[in-house]
Amino acid sequence: MSDEEKMEQLENQEEETNENESNEQKLPFFLEALFTLSQIIIILTGGITAVVSLMADVSYLQVILRASLALLVMGLLMWLVNWYSIRATLNSVEENLQDWQKQEPTGEQLNL
């Protein structure tokens, strides 16, 4: 294979990759921001709990238990917040689709 053929193959692969990436479904910005914020809050909570526990001069076992419990509780709370947000977003999209179907009857029904 010549260098030109190799370059053409690489360019074709890059084009296919870009097409595949553009076809992927992406979450709305609000949900992406909420997921990121949730992860940051969970990590900071565990870290701050561990640091404060170390400063309070408790045993390492208590530091681990406190940080683990803080991570577990905040993880569950953030999961709940994200779940409600996703559910509300999906309900909103479903209502918009139903309104759109009422306004533009095409004879086809979307099964949600």
pLDDT at 22 (0 to 100): 52
Q: Each residue's pLDDT tens digit in the chain (112 positions)?
A: 566 676 677 777 766 665 555 556 677 888 899 999 999 999 999 999 999 999 999 999 999 999 999 999 999 999 999 999 999 988 988 888 888 888 876 656 656 5
CA distances for 26 relative to 8, 22, 30, 32, 104, angstroms: 30, 9, 11, 9, 26
DSSP 18-52: HHHHHHS----HHHHHHHHHHHHHHHHHHHHHHHH
pLDDT at 55 (0 to 100): 96
pLDDT at 16 (0 to 100): 66
